[in-house]
C-alpha cells in the first residue's frame, strides 16, 4: 500500500520542516526497475577496487602531487624505503635525532664534519655526495648536474630527456646510490669504518647491475655495457 502525505496532514512546523528536508534528499533520486544493489560511488563503474580507492586517495590528497614518492620496481623494497624516508625527512640523521630530543655526541656531518648533518646535507651538499653525483652523471652521459635539493635527486630522471625505460633505470641508479651512501654512513657512525669513494662507487655499480639486470629482465646486459650506460 502506498500512502501520500499532504501538507494538510502535518500537525506542526517541525513536521513541515522534516517533510521539506526529506523531499530535498529525494530530489536527485531516480528509481529504476530491478533489484536493489550496493554501489561504490567513488568509481564511475560503481564497483569497488583497491586500485580505484588508491587513485581516489591520490587524486584527493591534500599534499602536493610533486611530493609523491615514486617507487621503482627495478630495485628492492629496502632501497626504495630509504629514499622514501629521506624524502619525508624521516631518516635518523643527527638533526632529526636532536629534534626528537635524542642526545647525540656531535651533530656535525660524520663524513665531512663541516656542518650539521641533515638529509639535504648528506645526500646533496656534502662533498662526498657532490662527487658521487658528478661521477654518476658522467657514467650516465648526463650534462653536468645542478642538484640543489633531495627533491632534485628524486626528479633527476624526469628532466634527463632520456627515453622512458632508460629514465627509469637512471631513477633506480639514484635510489641505489642513496641506499649505498646511507649504508656507508651508518657503517662509519656505528662501526667507525671510513668511507672510500672508490668502494662506494663500485658498490653502486655492482648492486645496480645485479638488481636492474634481473628485475628489468635484461639478461643479456653485459658489465661493459652497464659501465657505459648502454642499457
Ligand atoms: Zn658532510
Nearest to 148 by CA among 130, 131, 172: 130
What is the per-residue pLDDT across 15-47, written as a single tens digit (0 to 9) for each?
A: 777 787 788 777 777 777 777 777 777 777 778
Q: What is the pLDDT of residues 53-91, one digit of tens each?
A: 777 766 665 444 456 888 999 999 999 999 999 999 999
Residues with CB under 5 A from ligand 1 (ion): 109, 111-112, 126
Nearest residue to 57 (alpha-carbon basis) of 72, 68, 47, 71: 68
With beta carbons less than 8 A apart as the criterion, state whether 170 and 145 touch: no
Give me the numbers of helices (H) and strands (E) for the chain, helices first please. 10, 0
Span from the CA of 120 to the centroid of ligand 1 (angstroms): 10
Q: How far is the CA of 195 from the centre of ligand 1 (A)?
A: 12
pTM value surpassing 0.85: no
Q: Give SS3 for 62.
A: coil
* Mean confidence (pLDDT) of the chain: 88
Beta strands in the chain (DSSP E): none
Q: What is the pLDDT of residues 104-136, one digit of tens each?
A: 989 999 999 999 999 999 999 999 999 999 999
Amino acid at each position: 500500500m502506498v500512502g501520500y502525505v499532504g501538507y494538510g496532514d502535518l500537525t506542526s512546523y517541525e513536521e513541515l520542516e522534516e517533510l521539506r528536508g526529506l523531499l530535498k534528499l529525494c530530489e536527485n533520486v531516480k528509481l529504476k526497475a530491478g533489484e536493489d544493489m550496493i554501489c561504490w560511488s567513488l568509481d564511475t563503474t560503481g564497483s569497488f577496487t583497491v586500485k580505484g580507492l588508491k587513485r581516489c586517495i591520490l587524486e584527493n590528497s591534500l599534499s602536493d602531487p610533486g611530493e609523491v614518492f615514486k617507487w621503482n620496481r627495478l630495485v628492492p623494497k629496502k632501497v626504495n624505503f630509504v629514499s622514501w624516508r629521506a624524502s619525508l625527512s624521516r631518516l635518523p640523521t643527527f638533526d632529526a635525532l636532536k629534534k626528537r630530543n635524542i642526545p647525540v655526541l656531535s651533530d656535525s656531518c660524520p663524513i665531512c664534519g663541516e656542518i650539521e648533518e641533515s638529509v639535504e646535507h648528506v645526500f646533496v651538499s656534502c662533498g662526498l655526495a657532490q662527487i658521487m653525483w658528478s661521477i654518476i652523471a658522467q657514467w650516465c652521459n648526463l650534462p653536468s648536474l645542478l642538484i640543489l635539493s633531495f627533491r632534485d635527486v628524486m626528479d633527476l630522471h624526469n628532466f634527463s630527456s632520456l627515453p622512458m625505460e632508460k629514465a627509469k633505470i637512471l631513477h633506480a641508479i639514484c635510489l641505489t646510490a642513496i641506499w649505498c651512501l646511507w649504508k656507508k654512513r651508518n657503517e662509519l657512525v656505528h662501526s667507525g669504518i671510513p668511507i672510500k669513494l672508490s668502494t662506494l662507487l663500485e658498490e653502486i655499480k655492482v648492486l645496480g647491475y645485479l638488481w636492474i639486470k634481473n628485475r628489468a629482465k635484461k639478461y643479456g646486459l653485459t658489465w661493459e655495457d652497464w659501465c657505459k650506460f648502454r642499457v
